[in-house]
Amino acid sequence: MMATQAMILEHAAAMPAPTWHFLKMNDTAIEIPEGLEISPHVKVSGPAKILKGADDIERAVEGAQEAWSAKHPAPTQQEIAEREAFLAAEVDATYGGTAQSDYQKHADALEASRSLSQAFEHGLGSEAAMFLQRVAGKRVVVEGEAGQNVEVDMIVKSVPEAVSVAAIDVVAKCGAEVNVRVTVDSQDADNGTNGIAGTTIRVFADVGSRVGIERAQTLGEGYIDLDDIALFAQDNAHVTVKQTVLGADVSFTGLAGDLRGQDSNVVVDTRYLGRGMQKRDFNYLLRHHGPRTKCELRANGVLMDECSKTLRGTIDLIRGCKGAEGSESETVLLIDEGVRNKTVPVILCNEDDVAGNHGATIGHIDEKQLFYLASRGLSQEEAEAMFASAIVEQAALDAGSSEIRESVIRLGERLAPGFDEIFEEEEI
Amino acid sequence: MDNMLLICRGLCASAGEKAILHDVDFEMRSGEAHVLMGPNGAGKSTFGHVIMGDPAFQVTGGSIVFDGIDIVGLSTDKRSKAGLFLSFQAPVEIPGVPLRSFLRAMVDAHGLKMKNKEFKGRIKELSAELDMNPAYLDRELGVGFSGGEKKKVEMLQLLLLRPKLAILDETDSGLDVDALSVVSRGMELYRQECGGTLLVITHNTRILERLTVDRAHVMVAGHIVDEGPASLIDEIDAQGFERYETAGLAIEGK
Ligand SMILES: Nc1ncnc2c1ncn2[C@@H]1O[C@H](COP(=O)(O)OP(=O)(O)OP(=O)(O)O)[C@@H](O)[C@H]1O
Ligand SMILES: [Mg+2]
């Protein structure tokens, strides 16, 4: 029987352009406890193949690389010289002659390598992604052929003292529509359990395809959740990701996306609840390469008790992405004084004629809302409890599969007995 | 004093520096239907909000006695539990909270001890009664609701809570003919089923056609300038508020 060794995945979920170190939010460290049994409890329903060493994604990226290289000839020596001169002037103007930032160097090197597979980044970082792939062993490959519509449901069911991970590759060929719904749930467990559940999902969305990923995490106490996503979008591809983070003591959610194709579009909707001493870590990195690419990151959460949350959201508008638009918005309700909430929205811009927006509503229930609710009999505490419970109810209402719905309702029931009654089917 | 439900005496209220209500006397008996009229900006909504305990306003003088107790020091949620209800002229939107969850929280806060089945049944019944699409129940409270839909949701809450006194602040404004008759029907239901007491704030006589009004009050510039039987409504409908406005200015002036 295989088991984990104690280790720390350093610099996971790192922001590409770091902020002040003292803020302690440039990246995070993921601690893997020792002796967890490696036991993938993954159930898949729908058309998918499960095998070791699947390389469909690699081949898809290679294919894309050929097309991309043909369309984007390597710059001539003269162009490189011109670009360098331009950058030097820019650096002079912006930094008063100091050296380029590490971020800029890395970004330029990545551009210069002209390698799509290198640009295929993981939200939790490469080290964490490698760990997850290794632990998962086999890969679940979901493939949508041209014009096909594929629906797949998966459950990662964690058990105590084990690490259960699913590695999922989604390849949507031209014009295909692929929807994958993943429930990350645990067996009922007593206090003092230890366990890790996770997914690492790679998505290759080819020209004109539509991919929907929905992941809901309703783990019990004592669990760590690792949610890693890497996206690659070709021309006119639309990718939507819906993440629901409700359970687990500690959760790491990381999503990186490469909007390579023109007019490609990525929408990420995240809903979360933090309570007790829970820790929530979110990292988003969207790189716009293609012209008129669009991304939208929306996060909506409720934080209570003494939980802490960090959200890093980077939108990188890379040279050449004319007409691109990126936006990130966050709504967080902070219920208790003991909550720690950190958010860094970063918009990097190396192109004119682009739009990058961010907005945040962080705070307590608004006075007008509070008065309205009070006029219907709700005290402040009752109003706050309603907002927390509403996050879970909304998650159940919006669930894309019965598995997600049921696991969300079970979690709601653990938090507030009687919760499941709300969703009892009406007798006909 | 028998069966007096609401008595305001010399009620003065302000929003920060701005004094809005001046020396308001107002009485309602249990089971009655009253109308409060007055030009825009007279202070009608403020009056409703002050009775409900809106912290945006301060009571600077006088008393509000509801059902035998002085409620000036009582928090809004306690006033609601005591049987007061205010339907908002502009109902508030609560993103992130499905209407159904809100209704459930409201019923629980009132200690109505409704079993889930009963709760669902009641809501279904009321939605039908108010010609409301039950799909709204799963939508976020007020978000993307039309003006008329918001008002229907206010009526639904009124009928669910069955308060002793309901203040309807322009619940009829901006409604089409169908929605107007739905609101009228809601008012009738409230009076018949709950023996409810009603204070209707309105600019239109349409909504009053199917309501037997016991008394009408006129507010101008934060003062009650007239009150009388239902016939007063027709007088005002014909003549407007002009005669009071000069009188109101006289009061302001001294
Ligand atoms: N929070 C506030 N701060 C300052 N002034 C306010 C506040 N609320 C209301 N007012 C003022 O008090 C006055 C009365 O307003 P109110 O809304 O009560 O009038 P109304 O009679 O309901 O008018 P309408 O018929 O237009 O609804 C107005 O001059 C208004 O601008
Ligand atoms: Mg008003």
Of residues B88, B116, B157, nearest to A422 (C-beta): B116
Average pLDDT, chain A: 89
Q: Is the model's pLDDT at B253 over the cut of 50?
A: no
Q: B185: helix, coil or strand?
A: helix
Rounded-to-10 torsion of CA B137, B142, B148, B152: 50
Map tokens 């993440």 to a residue.
A243
Q: pLDDT tens digits for A62-105?
A: 988 888 888 888 877 887 787 777 777 766 655 554 455 677 77
pLDDT at residue number A85: 77
Q: A389: helix, coil or strand?
A: helix
C-alpha span between A254 and A408 (Å, rounded): 21
- Which residues lie closer than 8 Å to A180 by C-beta, 6 or more apart? A142, A152, A153, A154, A168, A170, A201, A211, A212, A213, A214
* CA distances for A24 relative to A28, A106, A327, B114, angstroms: 8, 21, 24, 49
The one-letter amino acid code at B155 reads: M
Average pLDDT over residues B226-245: 89
Could you tell me the residue ranges of all domains in chain B?
A: 4-252
Q: Is the model's pLDDT at B93 over the cut of 50?
A: yes
C-alpha span between A47 and A171 (Å, rounded): 12
CA distance A332 to chain B (A): 11
Average pLDDT over residues A169-192: 89
At residue A248, φ and ψ (nearest 5 deg) are 70, 145
Distance B90 CA to ligand 1 centre (A): 13
Q: pLDDT tens digits for A135-145?
A: 998 999 999 99
CB A213 within 8 A of CB A228: no
pLDDT at residue number B251: 55
Q: Is 3.40.190.10 the CATH classification of the domain at B4-252? A: no
Distance B7 CA to ligand 2 centre (A): 21
Ligand at minimal distance from the CA of B241 is 1
pTM listed for this prediction: 0.83
Q: Is the model's pLDDT at B252 over the cut of 60?
A: no
Q: Tell me the HSE value of A413 on the side-chain side, using a 13 A CA sphere.
A: 13
Q: pLDDT tens digits for B4-63?
A: 999 999 999 999 999 999 999 999 999 999 999 999 999 999 999 999 999 999 999 999
At residue B116, φ and ψ (nearest 5 deg) are -55, -40
Q: Is the model's pLDDT at A368 over the cut of 70?
A: yes
Structure tokens at A13: 């979920």
For residue A422, how many other CB atoms are within 10 A of its CB? Answer: 22
Output the ligand 1 site: residues, CB below 6 A: B 15, 18, 20, 38, 40-46, 56, 89
pLDDT at residue number A91: 61
pLDDT at residue number A423: 79
C-alpha span between A243 and A251 (Å, rounded): 12
Q: What is the DSSP string of A37-61?
A: EE---EEEESS-EEETT--HHHHHH
CB A324 within 8 A of CB A291: yes
Q: Tell me the residue ranges of DSSP E strands in B30-164.
A: 33-37, 58-66, 69-70, 84-87, 94-98, 140-141
For residue A38, how many other CB atoms are within 10 A of its CB? Answer: 17
The one-letter amino acid code at B162 reads: R
Asked if B116 lies within 8 A of A375 by C-beta distance, the reply is no
**With 0-12 CB in 10 A as exposed, 13-18 as middle and 19+ as buried, what is A319?**
middle
For residue B170, how many other CB atoms are within 10 A of its CB? Answer: 21
Asked if A375 lies within 8 A of B81 by C-beta distance, the reply is no
Average pLDDT over residues A387-413: 93
Ligand at minimal distance from the CA of B22 is 1
Q: Is the model's pLDDT at B75 over the cut of 80?
A: yes
Secondary structure element (H or E) that encloses residue A27, with its range: none
For chain A, give the percent of residues with pLDDT over 90.
57
Q: A282: helix, coil or strand?
A: strand
C-alpha span between A224 and A31 (Å, rounded): 9
Q: Is the model's pLDDT at B216 over the cut of 70?
A: yes
- Which residues lie closer than 8 Å to A196 by C-beta, 6 or more apart? A4, A32, A33, A36, A158, A162, A163, A164, A165, A223, A224, A225, A226
Q: Are strands A177-186 and A149-158 parallel, antiparallel or unpaired?
A: parallel
Q: Is the model's pLDDT at B248 over the cut of 70?
A: no
Average pLDDT over residues B212-238: 93
Distance B89 CA to ligand 1 centre (A): 11
Q: Is the model's pLDDT at A238 over the cut of 90?
A: yes
Q: Tell me the HSE value of B251 on the side-chain side, using a 13 A CA sphere.
A: 16
pLDDT at residue number A100: 58
Average pLDDT over residues B61-86: 97
- Residue A428 — very low, low, confident or very high, per pLDDT cuts 50/70/90? very low
